[in-house]
Chain A
């Protein structure tokens, strides 16, 4: 009898302990905002395009879309849209290299209706053939028509990432390739879902005016996901770059899009990160006239619409002014984006950008530049994340990177900024930024001609339709002859239709 009681006590203790353990297993990022009448959901699955099997590139992307833009076992896609319509709510997916986030937002009044649809999407996808067909066709159209033909800027950027991350799991577009998409089956999607959308592989992100019960409910419901364990692949082993390497995409276009960059070994949790951010903000703050490159290429010379740089992936730069959260990566690149310039100015614009890069690496920032940029960023950073949804995204990224920011990355960033000194920034520049080993992706017409000009270091003078200042003309003489050492074998030319084919 006694033994039985002991056994019962032991079992119940074991059960409660295991319950506790189970409960602790679900990681959470919570951002309660009492006065917010809406609730923001971001469910982070630790899977991304780096998990795509070879030959099935785009599988993570298509799988996530099969959750958010397709039928569930309880409702057809048509019915889902019908139910979401009056409550003006929606849910969607964001798939990047290392992270998939299923996110959505609703008004408190409509929480019940929304919650059911949102969790159904994650827990009970129907994987119907007709949804698969539609989603796949859209993805193929995106690559075949949009990316290759309608948006040279995004084309150049996507090409640069592929070029830098050759032979790593980061190499392909999130959406995949034409061939992989054509080869993909619904069985692949099902298998991928079962493997990675499991109960051990997600983090709950909740923000806004929710109550505690919702957290527990979500935790309980999502624990109904498959009991399978998945693994994260190792960090991509990116190849070091030797000299200047070019990928030119031949296209019948009257303007040239230029992107270039190289891998940098620094992430958000790094001690030098804010220092390097200050450098980058000065050199090329995204879509801001504070960008030095913008001043040199656009403002003084009117060669294009804008010129920016990045030390973290910035997606949809053509559309967005502020960085989108939830595309954290363990390997980042330093990237320069020169918006389309007339073909006759391509060589000059490239030289101008590289010359500025060399100048800042050699000389660092001046104290005046440093103080101004620091002041700028202290206020400007408040714009990075204004809504609860964006703030929640930032906190998820902090968890990814292991940034100990006490629940507010922007405040943490500003605090770090305050204690920064010019030496910190200039040391970070020397440590992480260089100008000798770079990869370039260039979308242009008559690429062969440009290739010869580059190899032969042909001077690239430009003329202006208007009068420009003496100092600009003087500087132009230096830019047009700025030497670039480029070897013939380091320039590869491909036709646009070959891009993202396989």
Chain B
């Protein structure tokens, strides 16, 4: 649900910055009170500025369109994430400890995260520190420099992060699901990467330099600044600090996943105690806001398996067979998975829950969702959006993924229009297209204790 929320918030926001003065746009402006400014520098760096009242706070997001999806070379899984750590190691002008000290003295809430499709560096700062932050951020994106020794030490922290994650059963089933469902595409591995690759990271100093040179280029980065700002003051600053950044992005060679022709059913054992977890995943499509079937599929996930679905009420509230039931219908750059998750209270009910999920998928292939249900979801999405734009961090945080995937504001305008037009027939069509046995992967996790 959260993911769906994020999608919709982003859609509404970007839609608002469309230049077309359609009626829909006027309506959206009433909903979305902030004006958006977009400009692309000659070197390809796209800048999106959103002024909003915020008590002097500003959210500063650098979105790099590289994630674990781009780790196509064998033995380098987890590298995008590892590299995210290295970005905090400074430059010759501002070495890591100096960078840290400056960021600390500004009282910035600075952090970063890596996903399959992108890496995001974000700071929450006060407006009087904007120029200094811009100087620091533009400097590390252009002139990152670290010694091999520092690089090796950081790999220890990454291994620590891996160990922390590994205690969760979801980590195990996630890893198994991806490696089972994909054969060629890099979505085969998780963002944190395979353990043997993480162990080998300290030996990859030279590779890390080439990684930076390939991907950390202006054409591959979008700068998003939200909060107490004036675009007319901020744009010249951006040109000053980012204008000299050299082009040079080299796209990764990600293989296309061949069409899955038979169902995959597998299991994973979690070395610990856990209730059984079930994931049922259907091959999906790349996020395409103009594609009715894609948008319908995203809504379908919530209608069929979300917290207001008949199945949720049956399995969670009435029969109490599951701890939770949740759809995860993601937006991704390349075709990913539409996944349904369930944690089952009693192992003997695993098959029953599995059958219920599959027959629900079948149901939506053969039946129309009611118009009221669909309208309720559309209304819900509107209010989710309206209620989630109260701080710069929330606005930027929810927008980051959308801009990382689509890059263009126009495309999202189309996405919003697509959702508005969806009918019960479109939802059924999406069910028919995606809920196929041959493109299904089922993974079950059981604890060892």
Contact = CB atoms under 8 A, between A and B. Distances in A.
Given A149-B447, A383-B124, A372 B104 contact: yes
Interface stretch (B255-263, B270-278, B430-438): B270-278
Interface in B370-389: 375-377, 379-384, 386-387
A382 B274 contact: no
Contact of A85 (B152, B380, B393): B380
Contacts of A339: 160, 164
B157 A305 contact: yes
Contact of A150 (B107, B167, B383): B167
Contacts of B88: 289
Interface string B385-429: 011001101100000000000000000000000000000000000
Interface stretch (B52-60, B230-238, B243-251): B52-60
B383 A107 contact: yes
Nearest to A256: B163
B104 A468 contact: no
A321 B103 contact: no
B160 A88 contact: no
A255 interface: yes
Interface string A322-360: 100000000000000001111000000000000000000
Contacts of A380: 107-109
Interface string A90-123: 0000000000000001110110000000000000
A395 B101 CA distance: 32
Contact of B103 (A37, A149, A289, A305): A289
A134 B394 CA distance: 33
A82 interface: yes
Contacts of A144: 273
Interface residues of B, number: 69
A482 B308 CA distance: 58
A254 B57 CA distance: 42
Interface stretch (A7-15, A197-205, A459-467): A459-467
A304 B157 contact: yes
A382 B318 CA distance: 44
Nearest to B306: A85
Given A382-B57, A466-B149, A107 B386 contact: yes
B107 A379 contact: yes
Contacts of A232: none
B103 to A, nearest CB: 7
Main SS at interface, chain A:
mixed
B104 A85 contact: no
- Grouping DSSP codes into helix (H, G, I), strand (E, B) and loop, the B interface class, with mixed when no group exceeds half, is helix
A138 B376 CA distance: 29
A304 B345 contact: no
A464 B157 CA distance: 12
B6 to A, nearest CB: 13
The list of the 9 closest CB pairs from A to B, nearest first, reads A302-B156, A379-B107, A466-B152, A88-B383, A380-B107, A86-B376, A304-B160, A149-B273, A85-B308
Contacts of B22: none
Given A141-B323, A289-B100, A467-B152, A387 B380 contact: no
A464 B108 contact: no
Nearest to B345: A137
B106 interface: yes
Contacts of B56: 382
Nearest to A251: B272
Most chain B Cβ neighbours within 10 Å, of A38, A252, A380: A380
Given A339-B160, A382-B57, A383-B124, A300 B153 contact: yes
Interface residues of A, number: 74
A137 B164 contact: no
Contacts of B104: 288-290, 372-373, 375-376
A266 B103 CA distance: 30
30 contacts: A36-B390, A85-B376, A86-B376, A86-B379, A88-B380, A88-B382, A106-B387, A141-B323, A145-B274, A148-B273, A149-B449, A255-B160, A255-B167, A289-B88, A289-B110, A290-B104, A302-B159, A304-B160, A305-B161, A372-B105, A378-B107, A379-B106, A379-B129, A382-B56, A382-B126, A464-B152, A464-B156, A467-B149, A467-B152, A468-B153
Given A87-B379, A340-B164, 5 more contacts: A38-B387, A255-B164, A290-B104, A466-B202, A467-B148
A28 interface: no
A466 B154 CA distance: 10
B111 interface: yes
A74 interface: no
A303 interface: yes
B367 interface: no
A77 B313 CA distance: 9
A499 B412 CA distance: 50
Contacts of A481: none
Contacts of B316: 134
B317 A78 contact: yes
Contact of B160 (A105, A152, A298): A298
B160 A382 contact: no
B323 A138 contact: yes
B111 A321 contact: yes
Contacts of A301: 153, 156
A151 B165 CA distance: 9
Name the residue among B124, B148, B318, B390 with the largest chain A CB count within 10 angstroms: B390
B53 A134 contact: no
Contacts of A322: 109
A50 B23 CA distance: 57
Contact of A377 (B107, B272, B386): B107
Contacts of B105: 372, 375-376
B376 to A, nearest CB: 4
A406 to B, nearest CB: 16
A4 B271 CA distance: 83
Contacts of A290: 100, 104
Interface string A460-502: 0000111111000000000000000000000000000000000
A76 to B, nearest CB: 8
Contact of B390 (A81, A130, A387): A387
A466 B203 CA distance: 9
B291 interface: no
A377 B176 CA distance: 43
B366 interface: no
Contacts of A134: 316-317, 320
A145 B160 CA distance: 22
A269 interface: no
B284 interface: no
Contacts of B103: 289
Contacts of B380: 85-88
A386 interface: yes
A79 to B, nearest CB: 10
A387 B390 CA distance: 6
Most chain A beta carbons < 10 A, residue from B105, B345, B449: B105
Contacts of A379: 106-108, 125-126, 129
Contacts of B252: none
B160 A38 contact: no
Nearest to B392: A386
Contacts of A253: 167
B155 interface: yes
A371 to B, nearest CB: 9
Interface in B310-329: 313, 316-318, 320, 323
A174 B403 CA distance: 41
A342 B107 contact: no
Given A137-B320, A468-B153, A88 B345 contact: no
A468 B160 contact: no
Nearest to A85: B308
A340 B109 contact: no
A469 B149 CA distance: 8
A113 to B, nearest CB: 11
B84 interface: no
B359 interface: no
A289 B103 CA distance: 9
B168 A151 contact: yes
